[in-house]
Structure 1
């Protein structure tokens, strides 16, 4: 789902729900974005802001983790569950339309929490920060826009803005892209989490031209993929094969490698891949 469709699906009654800067907020919550790769301006704003930061992502962005009042890694693909847990938590004491109230009452949050790797105590910590704050910004990144469940994710995030006290910043959006909508949308059940067992890479924007030749991973990824720093490899994603050089980066944590690309397609950027060492000639 493209950014414009995602913004429509947020279903906000007016453009006042949207923000394009991090200024003026005392709590910023980021979901589904790696700012050091996706948006240098956003990264700069978050790094220098006095706001408290809640950062939720599949891996650490070293530039933000130390700055964060709260950081947690969720499972690849779990963005829909994460937004459902946040929406239920934030809107628990708010008067909601009957259909939405019933939806959250029936939500199997124990199962979703276990699947997404965002625990009940962590949700309580985030909720406490939300309750303390006066002006809240919810930053929604590339991963939620390109998720196969983007429409329902947008609906859940939209409820937080519509019935709670958060404004929405969609990474990469402009004022011209904003649209108000008063359609009544039906919330869907949270889909079962797709399995990402195996060697996983994250296709992301490249910082320099030479990065398009690299697969960048942590020591943990190096062990999982059975590769060494400097190895010439091929990375197979579906039917496509990419020649790369593995580069170990000790600032990275976890078992997801960065695969910088000149231009990413519109699909969800995580892929279970097959890595083969190139034969020495």
Structure 2
């Protein structure tokens, strides 16, 4: 089953074509990660699938419905998105920010409810932001601020969550913490997770479905063990590497050596990732 699907999708910025007649399917209940070099179009594709960027032509289908036919609130009940580098008004507290995630469920008949309160508190606890709930967002460190935004996304309670570089500004420990959280949401609640990540090794570790983008087109898509090859890394990132097996997770581990520094090849024995 697919959560999101594009059909003959064409995206433009002004007169510049970003994608032409693109067909892509995002599997339901899985973690999909977009990878690719800077400027390849992965964030643009994510924004378009979330209806933040209007396509020139083509169709995007969300849970079986043409996304263009759905109201903004209906889309927000089915899909939440955390864009890259979001900003909050000065003086807004973490609690106030996270409460914004419940906006799609509010109307003149239904005001703030116990369910809303429960979802907000749970999102704060999951992201370990409950003790910072009364602090202003602009007083937080970059990593804390990112976790606050992720909490708002979780409070929205949607079956599909889309995130553009969610580990930005986070140190390694908090990167793993955030990705573990998203993995748990996928495993325990079958939420569909779609992310843009720069770290290929973390993408291999957490993704069920890796989408490699090159020159504003899909270069390859599938399981990391099948998709991630030395040729792909060279073609997509213009980077020489050797791929070995992660000793803990048995996923592909990219060992880069670039162009300037040559490794002692004899000490790096190739490992076939099965």
Higher RCO, 1 or 2 (CA under 8 Å, sep at least 6)?
A: 1
* TM-score, structure 2 normalization: 0.29
